[in-house]
Amino acid sequence: MTTGLIPGGQPPDPRPAGTRPPQPRHPDDREALSADDRPRSSVITARAAASFEPAGRSVATARAFVRDTLQGWGFADIVDDAVVLTSELVTNAVIHAGTHADVLCLRSDDGVRVEVADRYPEREIPLQGALPAMSNPDREGGRGLQLCAAIAGRWGVEYTPTHKNVWFQIALPERAVGTRAAGPALPVGLLPLADSRVRVAVVQIDRTGSISAWNEDAEDIFGYPADQVIGKPLTDLAAWPHTPGTATGIAEALQLSRWEGSYGIRGADGRVTPVYASHLRVRDTGGEPSTVCLLVRDHERAVLQTPARVPAGDAATSSDSPNTDPFEVFIGSPAPDDLDGLLQRTVERARDMLDADAAFLLLATDDETELEVRASTGLPSTRQRFARVPVEAGPGRYGSARMPAVHEDLTAVPGAVPLLNGTGMRAVVTVPLKVEGRLTGSLGVASESPGRYSNEEALRLQFAADRIALAVESARLGELERLRRGSLSFLVEASDLLAGTLDRDQTLALMAQMTVPTLATWCAVYTIADQASDPYLSYVLHEDEELIDGIKSLLSKTAPPDPVPTPGARVWTAPGQAAHEAALRSSMRSLGLAGGPAHPVSSGIGPTLATASAVGGETVVLPLVARNRVIGMLTLGKPTDEHFRQEILELAEDLSRRAALALDNARLYSERTAISQALQRSLLPPGLPEIDGVEVDVIYRAAGEGNEVGGDFYDVFPISDGAYGFAIGDVCGTGPNAAAVTGLARHALRLLAREGLSGPAVLERLNSAILDEGARSRFLTLLYGELRPQEDGSAELKVVCAGHPLPLRLRQDGTVEPAAEPQPLLGVIEDLELYEQTVTLDPGDVLLCVTDGVTERREGSRMLGDDGLADVLTTCTGLTAGAVAARIMRAVERFASDAPSDDMAILAMRVA
């Protein structure tokens, strides 16, 4: 990957130097297919570019590049959307178009533009008019442009003679703009006094504390021209402090992000001018920090001074004022920006308003059938967070969350408010949160004393709930939207990781690592081999590695969950119960209460209690269903007293479907690979025989991943006393189809040779057997011979070379010559007239037999060939048969940088 970052300026022309700009096409051509054709006049302030190779791993690398770039620019709000769209477009370029992908990120004042270009402009986007609706959002392909249309503010496709460029632009999220403070209309006499012309001095201070800018109003107020003060520290002019009781020094105030207050500035006449200042810390496009100071004369401070907020305690007393905002009366000001902060402040104010002991707030799920605990105060623990209770807890007014309810004493109605079971609360009042008549949540306060609340308190609480319901619902929807977009980015990366491996163990590890700690504190994966097998605990992971062994031991002693194919998460209580019982037994043993002598607390109680705490929370099980069969279960757990939120469970369910298919694919791949390898190994000779006085060695390489046998084959076998047959052949093609003919040829050779037939007769009958295969037959080149060691130390060979590369004989003096003559290959014509040739190998001579995968090894236009093989063989004088074969293979591998694309076999025989 190549990258470049250029801050500022306009993006350069991406066309190569010397190329003509693209000419206008016919109106029917799609020169620019765009969802928004308005001119783009934004100023580009920064750019980042990268190029990615046409490989599957480039998609993940491109996502990381875009994420790092946008986070570096401070655009974390739009990272998830940009990553999702980039993933789809880069996948189209490197996978479907099969070319390099050039990614360009542009930063402007109104958003971020990302361009993904491939180098296949002839393959146009098959789109006419408006985008078609996605019929199935779960389908794997064809989602790139739909996502652009759904997420991006603007997008388009542009064609040039060399590139196809798909771009999208995402606007920065709009910040809330509105009235921050307002005052009532006042009589003219009560308005603040100001000069005929209000002057605001604008002074900018650099990171060293020196003045870098000084406007005309500053010169007028203080009497200094700009050239006299620029470069001087502001502390030389400031009379600090002017306001009594101000403890912060001017140097410290200039380092704060925002500051307001009073101090004095010594003017050119030596007098101190009281000023009111507002400081704001900023940084320029180069990242250099500075402080902008706005100063007015102190009696004109109303121009800059922010009105004081009404204290929370005083707000309640002024609630009857017509200008008081009921929301601020209840929540206080300013309101929290995040949902959790808003909810927590809500329950605290509700508790204080009714002088209660506890308060809680629940939000409704999307289907409004359950309420989820999101905030509480005064309860024994936070164990209830994200716990879910049904909306309709029972019959009658007191059992529904859709209307206010007052319980004078919970002991009279056990279980009326499940959230408060076991907390000691007696009286409780609950009110609904509604938006446009739809239930969005429930707010409640509780007391340890019975009879504390009546309908009057319920009305007060309902009035407050009505004031905050809309703000809470708006914050909840915003959080839900951010979570869903983050979930989409998470699932894109998860799918990419799961699709990148076919190894079962690695798939299990990826499943666990993607869920911990993003979705759960710990997880366990159970697998089911077949329908008759019980679930087996295959993998356990915890965010604290020291607890993994303890959880694994605990789960191994617990009956596995039932393999129910029903989709969705279901609660599994067995691990929590087992952990509680194990911790209780361990504690009793440590105290000597188990019937035996007392023992001091051992080191074993620590891991037991830690394990119990780790799995003591909510545990859920999601089925792993692939091809209509349950192949396992994904178990997710939380520590003590914690619950899962509904959105996390929905994300986990989506992940479990993808993980199940990946796990089943890995299983099928492993099974088929094992079967294929077993069948292929049966086609290879079981071993090489020991031949007195002759060294024999073979090197075999099958082309293709996972192939152990291809179209090339070899064999060396005993025929009769003192005679051995040897063969090396090449079936047309590679892979399983060629391997099938390989098995036929090798076994037929052994059978026919042991019948006492001569070499030509053996090959003629093998030729007939191959032709009998009909459409499945393939032509075959074959070198077959019989070897007989002689008493004088030499070896006699009878050889038939049927269309195969000629065997080479290496003499002791280093000369190389062919040891046979070429004859017709097998599997083409019916009537063959073959003959055998006799060759005598003297002591020290070597016979080298290879397949055409060796001689046809290529590097560009160069080929090793017969002459190149002979040149390598001349350097092998004095080497053993194994060393000769190894040197030939090493020369073949070094001849070209690419992996071999053809099967190769090397058979070397040397007379000792």
Residue 21 confidence class, pLDDT cut points 50, 70, 90: very low
What does the pLDDT read at residue 578? 81
The runs of H, that is alpha helices, within 448-573 are 455-499, 504-515, 548-556
The 3-state secondary structure of 279-309 reads: EEEEECCCCCEEEEEEEEEHHHHHHCCCCCC
pLDDT digits (tens, 9 = 90+) for 528-551: 888 778 888 999 999 888 888 888
Which residue's entry shows tokens 């003017």? 267
CB contact at 8 A, 647 and 563 = no
Helix (H) or strand (E) holding 542, with range, is strand 536-542
Q: At what angle do helices 735-754 and 759-771 cross, to 10 degrees?
A: 140
Q: What percent of the chain has pLDDT over 70?
A: 80
CB contact at 8 A, 710 and 897 = no
What is the chain's percent helix, strand, coil content, to nearest 5? 35, 25, 40
d(CA 878, CA 61): 52
Bigger pLDDT: 587 or 81? 81
Residue 886 confidence class, pLDDT cut points 50, 70, 90: very high
d(CA 445, CA 425): 10
Please give the single-letter amino acid code of residue 132: P
Q: What is the mean pLDDT of residues 133-160?
A: 70
Residue 10 confidence class, pLDDT cut points 50, 70, 90: very low
Angle at Cα 862 formed by Cα 860 and Cα 867, nearest 5°?
160
What does the pLDDT read at residue 222? 92
Which residue's entry shows tokens 């082309």? 703
Mean pLDDT (the chain, rounded):
80
pLDDT digits (tens, 9 = 90+) for 77-114: 788 888 888 988 888 888 777 888 999 999 887 789 99
pLDDT digits (tens, 9 = 90+) for 786-820: 999 998 999 999 999 999 999 999 999 999 999 99
Least confident of 34-43, 311-320, 885-894: 311-320
d(CA 229, CA 236): 10
What does the pLDDT read at residue 472? 87
Give CB contacts under 8 A, 24+ apart, made by 175-183: 181/306, 181/307, 183/307
Does position 651 have pLDDT exceeding 70, yes or no? yes
Q: What is the mean pLDDT of residues 425-445?
A: 89
Does position 247 have pLDDT exceeding 70, yes or no? no
pLDDT digits (tens, 9 = 90+) for 280-292: 888 877 788 899 9
Does position 224 have pLDDT exceeding 80, yes or no? yes
CB contact at 8 A, 375 and 419 = no
CB contact at 8 A, 602 and 634 = no
